[in-house]
Structure 1
Amino acid sequence: MDEEAIPILHVKDAAVAVAWYGRLGFTQQWEHRFEPGLPAFVEVARGRVRLFLSEHKGDARPNTLVYLRVHDVDAIAAEFGDRPQDAPWAREIELHDPDGNRLRVGTPRQ
């Protein structure tokens, strides 16, 4: 097993969040609920990148910022109808998920 850090993002509706993150190329790996009707805790992954999406109160703060380094930010920008900006370190866009979490997505300059 490789060691890793996995950000936890607070979401109000895990199904809505999973669909939104699907547009970024993430797929749902699993979902846990202690009982039917209780809050969900979900893992989504894009290659080796993983995020936890939690409906539980207190797991994460709203308006969190996560940086995603990707191979083709232009393709993601097109999916969301956005245009990347050029920074000295990368070509980037900033997206907001349905719950207000911010994702800065960039392709490093070579």
Structure 2
Amino acid sequence: MEASKVIPILRIFDETKAREFYIGWLGFQIDWEHRYSDDAPLYMQISRGGVTLHLSEHHSDSTPGAKIFIECTGVRDFHQELNEKHYKYNRPGLEQEPWNAISVTVVDPFMNRLAFNERL
């Protein structure tokens, strides 16, 4: 087997808070959105710099409290970008990891954690 891409599905409960966090603060873009009807739960794809996530209001798609480990570059710049936005609900630190990496971990409003890691 050979996979071409892995796309995590994260459970969300509030569309406004999800957009504020993922689009407004983290800087992801919305690739597409889907609802079965106007009053149905939202399912959408977002992306930034090679990272693709699915966000779902559907109760059976995922469990809140997931953690995603994202290998990337530019973590120092990303850390600075986030803290310069002064998002009042999250001020992540820049951590030195024991596996010769630096990381920035953020927690979304639904208790999902995204750990952005850069090997040194």
TM-score band (shorter)?
0.7 to 0.9
Q: Which residue matches 1:25?
A: 27
Range with bigger deviation, 48-57 or 11-20: 11-20
Aligned-residue offset at 1:67: 1.2
Unaligned runs of 5+ residues in structure 1 are none
Contact 2:10–2:56 under 8 Å retained in 1 = yes
Find 2:59's aligned residue among 57, 60, 65.
Answer: 57
Q: Which residue matches 1:83?
A: 93
Contact 2:10–2:63 under 8 Å retained in 1 = yes
Aligned-residue offset at 1:40: 0.3
SS of the residue 1:71 aligns to: coil
Residue 113 of structure 2 aligns with an amino acid whose one-letter code is: R
Aligned-residue offset at 1:93: 2.0
Partner Cα separation in structure 1 for residue 39 and residue 60 of structure 2: 18
Range with bigger deviation, 53-62 or 89-98: 89-98
Range with bigger deviation, 70-79 or 37-46: 70-79
Contact 1:11–1:17 under 8 Å retained in 2 = yes
Quick check: 1:101 aligned with 2:102?
A: no
Give % identity: 30
Aligned-residue offset at 1:39: 0.2
TM-score by length of 1: 0.87
The CA RMSD over aligned residues, in Å, is: 1.7
Residue 20 of structure 2 aligns with an amino acid whose one-letter code is: A
Change (3 A) 1:25 1:69: farther
Range with bigger deviation, 78-87 or 25-34: 78-87
Aligned-residue offset at 1:37: 1.4
Q: How many residues align?
A: 108
